[in-house]
Structure 1
Amino acid sequence: MWRAFSPKWVSGFIRPLHYRYRRPTDGKWFPFGADRIKAIDAAKQLNLEFMRGADLVGAVLNNATETFAGFLDKYEADVLPPRELAKGTLGLYAVHFRRFRKQFEGKAVDQITIRMIAEMLDALTPRTANQCRALLTDIFNHAAAKGLCPDNPAASTINRIEKKLRKRHTVEGLKAIREKSPEWLKNAIDLALITAQRRTDILDMRFDGVREGFLYVVQKKTAKASDAAWIRFRVTPELQAVISRCRDNVAPPYLVHRKPDRKKQKQAETKAHWTKVEERYLTRAFKDAREAAECYKGWKEEEMPGLHEVRALSLHLYKKAGKDGQKIAGHASEEMTKNYQKEHDEVIWSDAIPDLNISEITG
């Protein structure tokens, strides 16, 4: 293939007896000497290797290295655990890993090209494509460090532009959703409004976390990466009203809880408590209530706001009321860097005052 190699230019003049080969995976050039016939022959052989089915050729020639699936197993077992990633992050990675294994089934690590990865990413939504690209880049960085591939094909792809499709909740819309929600979901919505916390942190709030006039919360998403993960919310009258509504005759450890229709033995063994609400169940229940409320007619499915967008509405309402939502949200503050300087031997809690009036929504 003539396009695969070219004469070398020197000071504007061609030296026709010196040829180079351009590797299609990353554009790197390799000197092929002055023999034109040998250069063409070598280029043709290499082009065949880079074509689809190169994995079969490699198997016959016995030059295939470790399989991608095999290395991915090692990546999951050795690289991820020390990072102490959140359960939700690991769950998302598991979904991507299944996609990777299917896409690159039977391929060796060094047989996966830029084009193969680009074709996979092009078939995904921008957000998912960017997540997969970032994860693959890290995987191939580790593979290259082990000498399993000469370069990182994922790093040569380009991030997609993500357009935020989900719209924000309106006060009227969230009020309608809350009215269609069961009591436990109303409590979750109220806590999200008052504290502006994420889904995971809301579901982890405990009754024994309320002590000495504060509700103590450790944000999971930022606990390993931010200095503002330790927040104690002052139990204001507004927050106390929500906490009081969370109490019932079940006496569970978690503020947000529900008595399941059927208590399954397997769930009882895997869950922290049989009344604890799982993240996926919360998301699904919120969606059901939103659909029942019919509050956002005319909006596309991808535009529909979920429970996560309650956090954005909360911060908007705090700002509108002239209050500081920075510490409420758990955004980093200069003072909190001491937590990491002391390696958490003496955790310094960031104080927040959740005093937002949500009666316009709760009634």
Structure 2
Amino acid sequence: MLHVAGKLTQNRLLHTVQGKPDTLADWLEAYKAIVAKRDIANSTRAVIRQRVAKISKAMGEHRMEAITTRVIAEHLATLSGTPRMQQATRSLLLDIFREAISEGWISSNPVQSTRSERVTTKRGRLSLDAFKTIHKWAQENQPAWAVRSYELALVTAQRREDIASMLFSQERDGQLYVIPKKVIKHGVKIAIPTSLRLNALGWTVADVIGRCRDNILSRHMIHHTAHAGKAKPGAKVREHTISQMFAKARDAVQITVPGKTPPSFHEIRSLALRLYAEQGINAQALAGHKSADMTALYRDVRGDEWITVGELRTDSAQIPNTSK
């Protein structure tokens, strides 16, 4: 892949002639070109660029062959106290040096033997009662699109970005077809029967989609119904705006979890997967997860709810494979 950075190739040749060593900063220029060609979300690519810039500023002058596990460990130690950032930085460094090996810049990965601080999830889970309370307040105090976004997230168990971008055209032939943006590179496609019913509230997917239809012409299920800043009626509602609105409703009804941060909009997905699992629905299929382990993380109530012994059973019912 080195050809994607022609100038860098010239620099390496110049370094050889002048006897100058290749630095991490040199390699990071090539790495950014590699990332630019990856099939990932623009937001993810932007985050990577920001983190690469920080790494380059902190360690860029180091010669590639002189970067040892100790050098990496000392850099990670500067992030002590921010375990999530430390973990994310370590993961990025692993990839940076893995790509460097494949391009012949180095022969071993100095990040492999390091470790990061254990990350403890501090965000509280959302209970069904809490959702009902938030939903009721939202119906009385928030625009219709906000209420619909909460409902759509609960009956489909999809992520915020997929709820925000969901189109009416995705519903056809009794199915709601979803290609999750976060895992699009893995080729995950989900066909959700619109007849799927969430027993806990008595809603079907079709019911909620029907409520998303109003007298405003729009392609988007979640859309503005009035002018809001630069947004016109029918325009897509931004992901961040959806999260802000949910947080406002949550705080208004004082939903808290002792010792943890309040549940965010994302926790609606976890609640949905737990509720569907209780019905015997295959939560892994509905979530679009490649592994059962990932689904288990979402279904983990993190000690925020009591588990009834009679509910400890495995998923059995499968969502029909009706993908076309």
TM-score by length of 1: 0.63
**Counterpart for residue 47 of structure 2:** 92
Distance (Å, rounded) in 2 between the aligned partners of 1:186 and 1:150: 54
Task: Label 1:297 to 1:163 Cα distance change in 2 as closer, same or farther (>3 A).
Answer: closer
Are positions 1:121 and 2:76 aligned together?
Answer: yes
What residue number does 2:12 align with? Answer: none
C-alpha displacement of 1:202: 1.5
Would the alpha carbon gap of residues 98 and 274 (structure 1) be closer, same or farther in structure 2, given more than 3 Å must change?
Answer: farther
Q: Deviations over 1:317-349 (max 9, x none)?
A: 11223433333222459xxxxxxxxxxxxxxx9
Is 2:117 the partner of 1:160?
Answer: yes
Question: Runs of 4 or more off by more than 6 Å in structure 1?
Answer: none
Q: Specify the code of the residue in structure 2 equivalent to 1:249.
A: N
1:350 partner letter: N
2:279 aligned residue: 321
Across the aligned residues of Structure 1 and Structure 2, the Cα RMSD in angstroms comes to 3.1
> Structure 1 residues 207 and 126 mapped into 2: Cα distance closer, same or farther (>3 Å)?
same
**Corresponding residue to 1:185 among 143, 146, 165:** 146
1:199 to partner: Cα distance:
1.5
- Work out whether 1:103 is the aligned partner of 2:58: yes
* CA deviations over 1:142-162 (Å, ceiling 9, x no partner): 224444345322223124333
Q: State the partner residue of 1:224.
A: 185
Say if 2:150 and 2:268, in contact at 8 Å, map to a contact too: yes
User: 5 Å matches for 1:24-63?
Assistant: none
Distance 2:249 2:74 in 1: 38
Cross-structure match for 1:254: 220
Residue 45 of structure 1 corresponds to none
Mind listing any 5+ residue stretches in structure 2 that lack a counterpart?
A: 1-14, 196-202, 292-319
Task: Name the CA distance, whole Å, in 1 between partners of 2:114 and 2:215.
Answer: 56
1-structure distance, mates of 2:19, 2:68: 16
Q: Which has the higher strand share?
A: 1
Uncovered stretches (5+) of structure 1, i.e. residues with no partner: 1-58, 334-348, 353-363
Give, in whole Å, the separation in 2 of the partners of 1:283 and 1:97. 28
Tell me the amino acid that sits aligned with residue 191 of structure 1.
L
CA deviation string 1:213-249 (max 9, x = no partner): 22211122233225xx222222227222211221233
The DSSP-based 3-state class of the residue aligned with 2:204 is helix
- Amino acid of the structure 2 residue aligned with 1:174: F
Deviation per residue, 1:157-207 (Å, 9 max, x gap): 124333222221111222233324542222111111101111222222101
| Residue identity opposite 1:253 in structure 2 | R
The DSSP-based 3-state class of the residue aligned with 1:118 is helix
Which whole-Å CA distance do the structure 2 matches of 1:317 and 1:286 have between them? 20
In 1, Cα distance between equivalents of 2:63 and 2:248? 44
**Is the 1:247–1:255 Cα contact (8 Å) retained in structure 2?**
yes
The equivalent residue for 2:243 is 283
Distance across 2 between alignment mates of 1:287 and 1:296: 11
Distance in structure 2 (CA, Å) of the matches to 1:145 and 1:331 = 29
Q: Is the 8 A contact 2:170 2:177 kept in 1?
A: yes
Task: Tell whether the 8 Å contact from 2:124 to 2:260 is kept in structure 1 after alignment.
Answer: no
Compare 246-255 and 111-120 and name the one that shifted more: 111-120
Aligned equivalent of 1:212 = 173
* CA distance in 2: counterparts of 1:95 and 1:277, whole angstroms: 26
Q: TM-score, normalised by structure 2?
A: 0.70
Identity between Structure 1 and Structure 2 (%): 34
Instruction: Give the whole-Å Cα distance in 2 for the aligned partners of 1:240 and 1:233.
Output: 10
